[in-house]
Amino acid sequence: MAASLSAAGAAQRSWRNPANATVQHVKWTLIAVGLLPLLRLVAGYFLGWLGANPIEFITRSTGTWTLVGLAITLSITPLRKLLNWPWLLRLRRTAGLLAFFYACLHFTTYIWFDRFFDLDDILKDIVKRPFITVGFAAFVLLVPLATTSNNAIIKRLGARLWRRIHYAVYLIAVLAVVHYWWLVKKDITQPAIYAAVFFLLLALRLFWKLRDVTQGRNAGDSKRRPIENQRA
């Protein structure tokens, strides 16, 4: 019994602070798994697995995997706090770029196969169809997040400004869910699930933020009291 508990504790400690090689293996595994939906789409297109309307299937699939990528990206910080695995933050950039990759495929499918690069038609869609407007806004907001996801840009912007820019991911998640919700109209089961997931992740973030602020104020008050007592 003692030996099993000791082994479990050692395993937990090893995952709390793994070697760099282990983190790199996990990162490449995430990339490989993240590219499987693309391989499925490519194989399905050539083998005829995508049904009677392959363009719609590709559009829906790439949109879905964009949402999945956003959900994984936003879940990394809560998992890091809950599991006490700081190294998970090193996967957040990879997950975010995978989400952006599928968002690019989603957008490209729309402007290429659905609208055939007809700029006038695309602009009319953006203006007249609310779900297109919201989806386009989410994609536009994703671009600066993806382009600032490298160490050189982070150093140039500074950590504080970089974090403020990347807080936009929560707005992007909301816009993406609204885009999906307005698209399906009738069966809202899947967008409702994503909305619940994003709401939970945002609620956790706000809870921890408020707790940190409260603890900081309490710590400040406890430091002031001895000084005030000495003056009295």
pLDDT the model gives residue 5: 47
Q: What phi and psi, each to the nearest 5 degrees, are found at residue 203?
A: -60, -40
Half-sphere exposure of 189 (CA within 13 A, CB side): 1
Crossing angle (nearest 10°) for helices 54-83 and 89-109: 170
Q: What is the pTM assigned to this prediction?
A: 0.85
For the record, the structure tokens of 62 come out as 């790439």
pLDDT the model gives residue 48: 86
Average pLDDT, the chain: 87
Q: pLDDT tens-digit profile of 164-195?
A: 889 999 999 999 999 999 998 788 899 999 99
CB 135 within 8 A of CB 71: no
CB 58 within 8 A of CB 46: no
Distance of CA 91 to the CA centre of its chain: 11
Query: Residue 163's pLDDT band (boundaries 50, 70, 90)?
Result: confident
For the chain, the structural domain boundaries read 20-215
- Rounded to whole angstroms, what are the CA distances from 131 to 63, 176, 183, 189? 13, 9, 6, 17
* Mean pLDDT lowest among 122-136, 148-162, 166-180: 148-162
pLDDT the model gives residue 223: 58
Residue 93 identity (one-letter amino acid): R
